[in-house]
Structure 1
Amino acid sequence: MADDVVSIARSWIGTPYQHQASTKGVACDCLGLIRGIWRERHGGEPEAPPPYTPDWGEGGGQEVLMAAALRHLVPVDPGVDWLPGDVLLFRMRAGAVAKHLGILSDAGEAPRFIHAYNAHGVIDSPLTTPWQNRIAARFRFP
């Protein structure tokens, strides 16, 4: 089950970054990548995302992305083993709202994650300590 999430995510690598987009090979942002994986696994999306700014309402302090993840994904307890295919939700700075998503692609000694990153597109990056320290929550696809 998790293998198909990683396989689908890898098929998006190289897709250029564009805010609010979600079309494999054309353009997407981090949410667009997760939406695309959902569509390949489950068909239609569970809800249409509202228009959103790149800061995800950071000024208002509302956890819009966290709330959506809690509605549609399965939360993973922090004590549970990390598995490829886990959805990672990040806070880009301490105390800020969570506003970045990625898919754990390798949970070994040198963990990696696939994400759509501004100016880079969809890439497979090392999940370095600074990235790990930004993880706000972990989820799995239903």
Structure 2
Amino acid sequence: MMSIAEQVLEIAEAWTGTPYRHQASCKGVGCDCLGLIRGIWRELYGSEPEFVPPYAPDWAERSGEDRLLAAASRHFGGPLPTADMQRGDLLLFRWRPELAAKHAGIFAGDQQFIHAYEQACVIRSPLVPSWRRRIAAVFRFPEK
């Protein structure tokens, strides 16, 4: 039987090439970074853990709350040290230290991550220093 991490990576890879569409979460049709994570969660656990209200592209700056980080903490448990990240872990990113986390991806190992790249599609990107320093939190998908 595959581990949760292996399942997460297999599912995330299957979303590769899905066009970027704000607020969408439909493999092959469209998704944003949160939609990718929602799709992975649905495939693993059968349904989403909570309703996601509509949000604007700049929702993190507008609300002033760290809603993505709070939701991840509710459903994944506490964040892990960045040094402990493993393949299949959820990565949340913030653009500047004082801003809310507003991007998500899946750590794929080998210094790469899978995410919905705005204006493009779900891709595997190098976790270069400019991405790595923006990691706000690391979460592990819970066991079923």
TM-score computed with the length of structure 2 as normaliser: 0.91
Partner of 1:36: 39
Tell me the distance in 1 between the aligned counterparts of 2:80 and 2:49: 23
Residue aligning to 1:9 = 12
Runs of 4+ in structure 1 deviating by more than 6 angstroms, as ranges, are: none
Seq. identity, %: 58
Residue 125 of structure 1 is matched in structure 2 by 125
Give the residue type in structure 1 aligned to 2:128.
T
* Number of residues of Structure 1 aligned to a counterpart in Structure 2: 139
What's the offset of the Cα at 1:62? 0.7
Higher helix share: 2
Q: For 1:56 and 1:31, locate their aligned partners in 2 and report how far apart those are by CA, in whole Å.
A: 12
How far is the alpha carbon of 1:74 from its aligned partner?
A: 3.0
Per the alignment, residue 138 of structure 2 pairs with 138
More strand by share: 1
For residue 79 of structure 1, report the CA deviation from its aligned partner.
6.2
Where do residues 67-106 of structure 1 align in structure 2 (5 Å cutoff)? 67-78=70-81, 81-106=84-109
Q: Which amino acid aligns with 1:123?
A: I
SS across alignment from 1:75: coil
Shift of 1:4: 0.8
